[in-house]
Amino acid sequence: MRTFDKSYSLLDRASKVVPGGIPGHQSPTLLVFGSSPCYVERAEGARFWDIDGNEYIDYMCAYGPMVLGYNHPKVEQAARAQGQMCDTGNLPTQRYVELAERLVGIVPIADWAIFGKNGSDVTTYACRVARAHTGRNKIIMAEGSYHGIGAWCTPFETGITPEERVNMLPFQYNDTEEFKRLLEANSQEIAGVILTPFRHEAFHDSEMPAPGFLETVRKTCDDIGAVFVVDDVRAGFRMHMGGSLESFGVKPDLICFSKALGNGHPISACVGKDGLKDAASQVFFTGSFFSAAVPMAAALATLDEMEAIGSVDLMYERGEMLKDGMLDQADEHGQEVNYSGPVTIPFMTFAGEDGWEKSKLFCKECYDRGVFFHPFHNWFISAAHTEEDIKKTLEATNAAFKRVKQEMG
C-alpha cells in the first residue's frame, strides 16, 4: 500500500498560495483524490516518481508531450547545445526556419508553419486565419471538444462573456447530417470548421470519426469556401507523422500541433496550405518566447528520432499489446469495458457505469501497483514503453480488474 503523505502535505501548503492548490487539468480532484499523487519529483523514459518516492510506469506522458519518453538523451542533448548558443533572443534563430522546413517536409498539407507556446495559442490563431481568409466570422466546432482555454472554447465558462462565444456554432461530433444542416443554414457566414481528428474529450469514451464524416466536412467546406482546421494538439504524431487525418486519407487546410512536437519542451505550431499563407501573415501572432530556439532544437531532434525509430508503428504495436491484454483480462474478470480511441491514445471505461466508481477503483489499484492511468481522461502510449513495461503493466491491471470484481461485481 503506497502512501501519498508528502503529496497531500505539499498540496496543503500550496492551497495557501495557489488558487485551487493545483490549477487546471492537473488538479488532484480530477484524479482519484486521496489515492493518487499530487506532485512529481523525477521522470525518466516511461517512468516517473512522485514526491513520496512511489514509482510508476506512466500512461499519461505528461498528458501527451512525452512521445519518446521523459528526459530523452538525444532530445535533451540538442536542447542543451542550443541553450548554450541562444534560446530567447531579440530575433529568431535559424532553428525557426529549419523547423518550418522540416514540418513542410513531413506533413503533406503543410506549405508553411508558424510557432507558439501553447496549444491554445495555435487553435485560436487558426480560427483567426480562417476569418482573415474568408472575411466571415462564424466557426463550427463540436460541442464539448477541448481546444484549449481560449474564450471561444474553454470548457468552464467562469469569467467568459457571452459575446466571446457568439460566433461559435456547435454540433455533435460525427453527426454528419447536423453538420450539413448547420453549414448550409449559415453558409454565407462560416469562416471555418475546427475538429479534433477523433472525439477525445475527458469524461467520455473516445469516438473515431464515423465513415464519411471527415469526407463530408472536407467537401462541404470546399463547397462554401470555408477553412477546415484540425486540432491535432493531442493526437499529433501518435496516429501518423503527417498529421492524424492522413490516417483517414482526408486533407484539412490548417493543422494545429503542440504536445508531442517537442517531447516536453514548450512549443506549438500551426501549419497550413499555401492558399492560407497570405491570411496567416496578416494575423498578428507573437509572444516573448514564441521564437525561443531551445524548444525548436528539441522539436527537430524529436522529429528526427521519431522518424529514425518509426515511433508511430512502435506505439501502435505497444498499444495493441496493452489493449489485447486488458480486454482479455476484462473478459476473464467478467467486466464489460469500452476500450476506445486509437490504441496509441487509448481510453478505457467500465460499460454502463452511472458514476465513475469502477474507473476510480481500477486506477487506484493500478497506482498501488506502480502503474499510472487516468480515470477520466484518455491515456497516451510513448515510444519509451517497452514490451517488458506492458507485461508488468498487465500484471497490475489483472490485479486491478480482480479487485474491481471483488468489490463492485
Task: Confirm if 239 and 214 have CB atoms less than 8 A apart.
Answer: no
Which among 210, 268, 248, 257 has a CA at the least distance from the CA of 229?
257
Binding residue for its own copies, selected from 53, 89, 108, 334, defined by CB under 8 A: 89
Letters for 322-361 (x = contact with its own copies by CB under 8 A, - = none) are ----------------------------------------
Rounded Cα gap, residues 300 and 402, in angstroms: 44
Task: Output the smallest distance, CB 349 to its own copies, in A.
Answer: 20
* Closer residue to its own copies in complex, CB, 121/365: 121
| Stretch of 57-65, 202-210, 302-310, 401-409 contacting its own copies, by CB under 8 A | 57-65
46, 68, 100, 363: which one binds its own copies (CB under 8 A): 100
Determine the size of the site formed for its own copies (CB under 8 A): 107
User: Segment 122-161, which members bind its own copies (CB under 8 A)?
Assistant: 124, 127-132, 137, 148-149, 151, 154-156, 158-161
What residues between 365 and 404 interact with its own copies by CB under 8 A? 372
Among 77, 101, 334, 406, binds its own copies (CB under 8 A): 101
Q: Give the pairing of strands 227-231 and 254-257.
A: parallel
Verify binding: residue 17, its own copies, rule CB under 8 A.
yes
Binders of its own copies in range 209-238 (CB under 8 A): 233
Least Cβ distance, residue 211 to its own copies (angstroms): 31
Which of 2, 74, 87, 106 is in the footprint of its own copies by CB under 8 A?
A: 87
d(CA 144, CA 131): 22
Q: Which of 2, 35, 41, 370 binds its own copies (CB under 8 A)?
A: 41
The site string for its own copies over 255-294 (x = CB under 8 A, - otherwise) reads ---xx----xxx----------xxxxxxxxxxxxxxxx--
Which lies closer to its own copies via its Cβ, residue 93 or residue 340? 93
Report the nearest approach of its own copies to the CB of residue 332 (Å).
Answer: 29
Nearer to its own copies, 202 or 399 (CB): 202
CB of residue 180 vs its own copies: minimum separation in angstroms? 24
**Which residue number, 84 or 409, has a Cβ lying nearer to its own copies?**
84
